[in-house]
Amino acid sequence: MHPTQKILAKEMGAELERILNYWQVFSLDKDHGGFIGERDFYNHPIEKSNKGIILNSRILWSFAAASNHLKSNRFAEICDRSFDYVYTFFRDKAFGGVFWELDFQGNQINSRKQVYAQAFMVYALSEYVKFNKNKQALNWAIDLFALIEKHAYDNTYGGYTEAFSRDWNLISDMRLSAKDANEAKTMNTHLHVLEAYTTLYQIAPTHLLKTRLEELILLFLDTFFDAETNHFQLFFDEKWQTKGEIVSYGHDIEAVWLLIEAAKVIGNEELLNRAKGLALKVASTFIAEGMDSDGGVYYEYNLRSKVLDTDKHWWPQAEAIVGLNYAYEISKKEIYLNKALKIWNFTKDHVIDPKNGEWYWSVNQQKEPNISMYKLGFWKAPYHNSRACMKMMNVPSYNSI
Say whether pLDDT at 39 is over 60: yes
- What region, left, alpha or beta, does residue 158 occupy, with left being phi > 0 and alpha being psi -120 to 50 degrees? left
| Higher-scoring residue by pLDDT: 179, 108 | 108
Q: What is the pLDDT of residues 189-225, one digit of tens each?
A: 999 999 999 999 999 999 999 999 999 999 999 999 9
Say whether pLDDT at 181 is over 90: no
Strands (DSSP E) along 71-178, which ranges? Answer: 101-102, 108-110, 113-114, 163-164
- What region, left, alpha or beta, does residue 34 occupy, with left being phi > 0 and alpha being psi -120 to 50 degrees? left
Q: What is the pLDDT of residues 244-260, one digit of tens each?
A: 789 999 999 999 999 99
pLDDT given at position 400: 62
* Phi/psi at 223 (5° precision): -115, -55
pLDDT given at position 175: 87
Q: Measured between alpha carbons, how far is 65 from 58 in angstroms, rounded to an integer?
A: 10
Q: How many residues does the chain have?
A: 401
H or E element that contains 293: none
Dihedral sign, Cα of residue 153, residue 154, residue 157, residue 162: negative
* Phi/psi at 130 (5° precision): -60, -35
> How large is the average pLDDT for residues 321-346?
98
The dihedral over CA atoms of 345, 348, 351, 352, expressed in degrees to the nearest 10, equals 160
Q: How far, in Å, are 250, 272, 273 from residue 267 at the CA level?
A: 26, 8, 11
Q: What is the pLDDT of residues 285-317, one digit of tens each?
A: 999 999 999 999 999 999 999 999 999 999 999
Q: Are 324 and 342 in contact (CB under 8 A)?
A: no
- Beta-carbon count within 10 A of 160 CB: 23
Give the chain's mean pLDDT: 96
Q: What is the pLDDT of residues 75-90, one digit of tens each?
A: 999 999 999 999 999 9
pLDDT given at position 396: 55
Domain boundaries, the chain: 3-400
Say whether pLDDT at 180 is over 90: no
Q: Are 386 and 17 in contact (CB under 8 A)?
A: no
Q: For 199-236, give the DSSP string.
A: HHHHHS--HHHHHHHHHHHHHIIIIIEETTTTEE--EE
The dihedral over CA atoms of 203, 321, 371, 62, expressed in degrees to the nearest 10, equals 20
Q: Measured between alpha carbons, how far is 82 from 97 in angstroms, rounded to an integer?
A: 17
Say whether pLDDT at 62 is over 60: yes
Task: Please name the fold of domain 3-400.
Answer: Glycosyltransferase (1.50.10)
pLDDT given at position 397: 57
pLDDT given at position 176: 83
Say whether pLDDT at 399 is over 60: no
